[in-house]
Amino acid sequence: MSPADINEDVIKESSMLKQKEMISANYEKLTSAPETGQKVASTYVPGNLNELIMCFDMLNNLPEINAIQNGMRKQSGAMIQDAEKMGHSEDVCTYVKADIGNMAKGAIAPNGKPMPVPDLLMLSYTGCFTFLKWFELLRDQYGCRTAMLHVPYEGDGVITANMRDYVVKQLKEEVIPTFEEVSGVKFDIDRLRENLKNSAKAEEDFVWVLESAKNKPSPIDAYFGGVYYVGPIFTAFRGTTDAIDYYKILRGEIEQRIASGQGPITPEGEMKEEKYRLVVEGPPNWTSFREFWKMFYDEGAVVVSSTYTKVGGVYDYDGFRHDPDNPLESLADYCLGCYTNRNLPMRVDMIEKAMEEYQADGFLINSIKSCNSFSAGQLMMMREVENRTGKPAAFIETDLVDPRYFSPANVKNRLESYFQMIDQKRAGGSPSRAA
């Protein structure tokens, strides 16, 4: 999500440096919390209530991001195996096992210092069942307070008044009082409004960034690059002026790239020729992220839209913005609208729309072994999208942070066949069904 500080040899733009500074500073704050006395809340990317957390002067620690960081540093494999030795099943989410394995090793942050024990587990149960168990497991280990926010699933593809009221009531009567108790800071709704105002500003530029991929050539890669772009808005920075600044800088850089007709920046420099425009569903693989990305840019494939950049909030599809005039309702709508909290028909509609608006040549699913929230039903989604758009689709399988489930030769072969299929379709042939 925010791995800007990992790939040292990536050509750095100002926005990358800015994000790297932000991330480093946040890890410094987190790891020095025992000395500074600042309280720490752990929470998840989907349903992340950063604006609210900041109202209590608390820091936001996201275990998924830590697992990603450890995945990209090639450390997650050993952590997962340690967790399995401790009795965690080989069948379950590898984010959870990487996190638990990391705890067993002293919970070392990317800056090399130990992470503090959280003062509060903010269990925002949004779009992923595993979240519920994950924080029960952490609670079992840490023995710290837990605030549960149950976000109902959009089973019928709509947010009902009952769902919104339920979330707001939980915020008012359960979550906020718990934050007040843990932090010792009284809730100030005007402070929340101010944070939400900041969020909305950043969200405007963020959406502009995502939609810049409608240009030909696309100035961004909305998957491999996208995971960097979502960093601030999905993590500990939404609602901050830092996030506003970051997206302003990023937007400026992309405007320049559009003006000069440039493609996306890859780890090996600017992508020269855009041959294939893809929409991608599912999270990326983190343990071989660079290798995975290379398989695309070497072939001239650019991802113009991805569903993963909506997992921490959907801002482009139906125009949601955090609303300072309706602060708690707005937080509820944000949580309810996260991508994996939407039902499968909605997800198919979103992909179909992206295929059309971004003039994609094809649809690719990276199916993640660990993540049933994303993965269950994806084969059917693929067929639906293929039928509706008439564009070729393909399916590859990897994992989030377990290196045992990334098979480079298989993935590369599948992708190469897929690109040939797109060529064949363009040449007027009738490609066989999904690769």
Partner 1 sequence: MKNTSEIIEYCQELYEDIDFTATRKWKDADPARKVVGYMPVYVPRELMHAGGILSLGILGGGDSMEVIHGDAYYQSYICRIPRSTIELAVTKRLDFVDGMLFPSICDVIRNLSGMWKLLMPDVYVRYFDTPQNFISGIGGDYYVNELRELKEGLEGIIGREITDDQIRNSIAVYNENRRLVNAVYDFRTAEPWKAPSWEVYLLMRAGMVLPVEEHSQLMSDYLAAAVSEDKPMRDNCRIILQGSFCEQPPLNLIKSIELSGCYIVDDDYMLVTRWLLEDVPTDGDPLVNLSEAFIKHSGETAAKYVPDAADKGKFLINAVKDKAAEGVIFAAPSFCDPALLDRPMMAGALSRTDIPYISFKYAENSGQMQPIREQAGTFADTIKLWSEAS
Interface with partner 1 includes 389 (CB under 8 A)? no
CA atoms within 13 Å, Cβ hemisphere of 243: 29
Chain center to CA of 190 = 28
Shortest distance, position 343 Cβ to partner 1, whole Å: 4
Return the residue of 191, 238, 310, 347 that touches partner 1, per CB under 8 A: 347
Rank residues 233 and 328 by Cβ distance to partner 1 and give the closer one: 328
Rg (CA), the chain: 21
Interface with partner 1 includes 375 (CB under 8 A)? yes
Shortest distance, position 200 Cβ to partner 1, whole Å: 28
Shortest distance, position 140 Cβ to partner 1, whole Å: 5
Interface with partner 1 includes 165 (CB under 8 A)? yes
Rank residues 163 and 236 by Cβ distance to partner 1 and give the closer one: 163
Return the residue of 214, 294, 369, 425 that touches partner 1, per CB under 8 A: 369
Interface with partner 1 includes 393 (CB under 8 A)? no
Interface with partner 1 includes 155 (CB under 8 A)? yes
Shortest distance, position 362 Cβ to partner 1, whole Å: 20
Rank residues 134 and 206 by Cβ distance to partner 1 and give the closer one: 134
Interface with partner 1 includes 344 (CB under 8 A)? yes
Interface with partner 1 includes 150 (CB under 8 A)? yes
Return the residue of 373, 389, 394, 401 that touches partner 1, per CB under 8 A: 373
Task: Give residues 85-104 in contact with partner 1 (rule: CB under 8 A).
Answer: 86-89, 91-93, 96
Site string for partner 1, 126-145 (x = CB under 8 A): --xxx-xxx-xx-xx--x--
Shortest distance, position 263 Cβ to partner 1, whole Å: 33
Rank residues 209 and 364 by Cβ distance to partner 1 and give the closer one: 364
Return the residue of 64, 384, 386, 402 that touches partner 1, per CB under 8 A: 384
Q: Total residues at the site for partner 1 (CB under 8 A)?
A: 54
Sequence-distant (6+) residues with CB within 8 A of 3 are 68, 69, 72, 227, 228, 286, 289
Q: Which residues bind partner 1 (CB under 8 A)?
A: 86-89, 91-93, 96, 125, 128-130, 132-134, 136-137, 139-140, 143, 146, 148, 150, 152-153, 155-156, 160, 162-163, 165-166, 169-170, 173-174, 343-348, 367, 369, 372-373, 375-380, 384, 397
